[in-house]
A and B are shown apart, each in its own frame.
Chain A
Amino acid sequence: MRTPRINLKELEKLKEENFRERLEFIEKYVEWMKKSSNKTWSSQQKDLID
């Protein structure tokens, strides 16, 4: 089976972009937490963890 040519630089760039997007999400998540009641954010965290 022939496999596609892989551009490692391109993948590295995508990995960094994905990481930056996750950091941006974390910033938005904390902004939301700060505006929410403790019960609201922690109930959602509990659902995720449990």
Chain B
Amino acid sequence: MKITVTEKKIEFKKELNKLDRFVIEFTSLLNNLKMQYVIVSGYIPILFGRSRTSEDVDIIVEKIDSETFRRGWNTISVGFYCINTKHAEEAYEDYLCSGISLRFAKKNTFIPNIEFKFPKTNLDDWTLKERREVVLGSHRFSISPLELQIPFKLHLGSEKDIEDAKFLYTLFKEDLDMNLFRDFNRKLKTQSLFQRYLQ
């Protein structure tokens, strides 16, 4: 496997699957809109080769004002539709600003979809600020730092999540900032799960 990992960037090439193409299409719109966002959770292990798929892709987007959101809504609406509501104002006020995610899918489909949300916790703010760039051939998008993503998967704790953590840790253990990784394991109280299943 050929992959280049630096402090802020991960660069590699792969045969794109349908989920990769779906993510690239949506994040290209966010890139064009110059929105700050970060992909978190289940798509990250899939991006790097995990042998499973997912019905949704979680994206945390910086908190934007209603006018910026409306511009984004108009751009996204060319190829995608919002499953929750047809109205931009309702999407912004009653969903995003009320802490409820929006789901965007390609027209005439239901899955896969993008779970689009504003940051809710300190961890969300941190991951947005410290996001890492993925260069996948000619495409670029942002993902959560693996030093958080792996302990957070352990924190979620389902068998699927621990398997995702195992996959990412086994693949990237030589590239992780171990001080940061240990700090998140300590703060999320996942040291014993780490020792039991990942080491």
Contacts and interface: CB of A to CB of B under 8 A. Distances in A.
A50 B22 CA distance: 12
A9 interface: no
Interface size class of B (residues with CB under 8 A): 20 to 34
Name the prevailing secondary structure of the A interface residues. Answer: helix
Contacts of B51: 29, 44-45, 48
Contacts, number: 66
B166 interface: yes
Interface residues of A, number: 24
A45 B19 CA distance: 11
Nearest to A39: B15
Contacts of A45: 14-15, 17, 49-51
16 contacts: A26-B163, A27-B166, A30-B170, A30-B171, A35-B1, A38-B1, A41-B14, A42-B14, A42-B16, A42-B17, A45-B17, A45-B51, A46-B15, A46-B16, A48-B51, A49-B19
